């Protein structure tokens, strides 16, 4: 006769293989695995709100053989919104494209730029939908979305579709280290320079191997988003 462990394995696998089936404990294992892909396996991504805007920064894996200098983790969504990704790069690309389309549809339909919170909710709804459909898997990506539509705002969306607003936040494998620095040193109403300094300190503590080549930085300031060049990042790190 099969022992107790052999009897439990098929039962556990039944809840493990489908994202739409709850385990007896009320867990969705596929969603938890997607979160693990973001929190444990991906390089650190973070954001800091300052007086007139938001700083987004991320560390990525680099190689001297890599040709492209195209952004991999920090992107512009609309003229006043940027996003930093953490998790599966392919999933990130799909969601970034989706967010850009939603922003442009809003502009064409209503003749104005989309509100930051409305866009974040739209992305979160799409993520949540992929936890309810059989035959698909959740998006294995977390997003930090920064924007300024009168007030600087920083939102997080995780693979489950949950959304939260933060003053400073980090996701990825070094998030706990970065969060500790934020909790100790962040102050509301800080200046842009202080926000960048705090972001770099937290990122370096979380990812000691950071360099100008591995870091991407985007800044939303006065309703405009800008992706910094490698030279601008190098100048920041020299300080």
Please, are residues 71 and 222 in contact by the beta-carbon 8 Å criterion? no
To the query of whether residue 43 is one of the catalytic residues in this protein, the response is yes
3-class secondary-structure state, position 28: coil
Give the integer Cα–Cα distance in Å for 124 and 197.
30
Q: Would you call 184 exposed, middle or buried from its count of C-beta atoms within 10 A (0-12, 13-18, 19+)? A: exposed
Give the integer Cα–Cα distance in Å for 216 and 142.
16
Please, are residues 107 and 113 in contact by the beta-carbon 8 Å criterion? yes
Kindly name the residue from 43, 44, 45, 85 that is annotated as catalytic.
43
Active centre residues (catalytic) = 43
């Amino acid at each position: 006769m099969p022992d107790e462990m052999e009897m439990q394995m098929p039962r556990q696998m039944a809840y493990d293989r489908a994202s739409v089936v709850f385990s007896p404990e009320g867990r969705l294992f596929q969603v938890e695995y997607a979160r693990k892909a973001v929190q444990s396996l991906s390089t650190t991504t973070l954001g800091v709100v300052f007086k007139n805007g938001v700083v987004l920064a991320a560390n990525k894996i680099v190689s001297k053989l890599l040709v492209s200098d195209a952004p991999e983790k920090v992107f512009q969504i609309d003229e006043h919104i940027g996003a930093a990704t953490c998790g599966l790069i392919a999933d990130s690309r799909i969601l970034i494209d989706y967010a850009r389309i939603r922003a442009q549809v809003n502009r064409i339909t209503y003749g104005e730029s989309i509100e930051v919170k409305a866009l974040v909710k739209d992305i979160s709804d799409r993520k949540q939908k992929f936890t309810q459909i059989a035959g698909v898997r959740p998006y294995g990506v977390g997003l930090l979305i920064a924007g300024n539509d009168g007030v600087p705002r920083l939102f997080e969306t995780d693979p489950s579709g949950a959304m939260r607003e933060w003053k400073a936040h980090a996701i990825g494998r070094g998030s706990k280290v970065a969060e500790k620095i934020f909790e100790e040193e962040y102050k509301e109403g800080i200046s842009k320079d202080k926000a960048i300094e705090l972001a770099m300190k937290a990122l370096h503590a979380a990812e000691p191997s950071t360099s100008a080549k591995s870091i991407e930085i985007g800044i939303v300031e006065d309703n405009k988003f800008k992706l910094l060049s490698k030279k601008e990042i190098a100048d920041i790190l020299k300080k």
